[in-house]
Chain A
Amino acid sequence: AQKVTQAQTEISVVEKEDVTLDCVYETRDTTYYLFWYKQPPSGELVFLIRRNSFDEQNEISGRYSWNFQKSTSSFNFTITASQVVDSAVYFCALSEARAAGNKLTFGGGTRVLVKP
């Protein structure tokens, strides 16, 4: 069964600090996809990144970067030089290729609070 663990429930930083969000997953499938979504205080879910299990390259998008390590089953997310607008709940999610219906399994989320 697939499982996603986000051990950090809440992180508080001061603006311009870097913050790293941990995501550890469990799967028996060799083909799977990992996702990060952002949920700002307004409540909607915003897609950030999608990565498949065969692509272990790290990715950078502006102030966001992702570190995917299959050896430790982790897909961590770093916000560099955080801003107040980064305050949100961030979810990591997993979808196994053999799971029926493209099921997404979500972690419990990490709330990030960026103080000015």
Chain B
Amino acid sequence: NAGVTQTPKFRILKIGQSMTLQCTQDMNHNYMYWYRQDPGMGLKLIYYSVGAGITDKGEVPNGYNVSRSTTEDFPLRLELAAPSQTSVYFCASSYSKQDRAIRETQYFGPGTRLLVL
């Protein structure tokens, strides 16, 4: 298994441009997440999905959009990039069972480093 893969690894955007960060997992996990990590900080949740067709906002969703058309893929869309979106973006996935009280481990992709100038 490749686990969680992300593309691209690095990207430079100009202010106002848009782009899509790709994320794919091959572990048949139902939950997927997008986090951002600013320099010297911990990760903050942007969006998450509990299954195909179902997404919801996390802690810092402004300026981003997501979709989940398949179990495997969870792309993150940046519209009108701003310097404040300069960050490292991590995609993660986990398998969560019917018991909502159980929190399974989230496994992370290698990250996408984004620079907005």
Q: Point out residues on A near B: beta carbons under 8 Å.
A: 4, 31-33, 35, 37, 43-45, 47, 50, 52, 91, 93, 95, 97, 100-104, 106-109
Contacts and interface: CB of A to CB of B under 8 A. Distances in A.
A45 B101 contact: no
A44 B56 CA distance: 25
Contact of A102 (B35, B48, B107): B48
Contacts of B102: 97
Given A45-B108, A104-B43, A106-B44, 6 more contacts: A43-B88, A101-B31, A103-B48, A103-B58, A103-B59, A109-B41
B53 interface: no
A108 B103 contact: no
29 contacts: A31-B101, A32-B103, A33-B103, A35-B106, A43-B113, A44-B109, A44-B110, A45-B108, A47-B105, A47-B108, A50-B104, A50-B105, A52-B103, A97-B102, A100-B56, A101-B31, A101-B33, A101-B48, A101-B50, A101-B56, A102-B96, A102-B106, A103-B59, A104-B35, A104-B106, A106-B42, A106-B43, A107-B42, A108-B41
Interface of B: 31, 33, 35, 40-45, 48, 50, 56, 58-59, 88, 90, 92, 94, 96, 100-111, 113
Contacts of B104: 50, 102
In the complex, which of the residues A32, A91, A97, A104 has the most CB atoms of chain B within 10 Å of its own CB atom? A104
B88 to A, nearest CB: 7
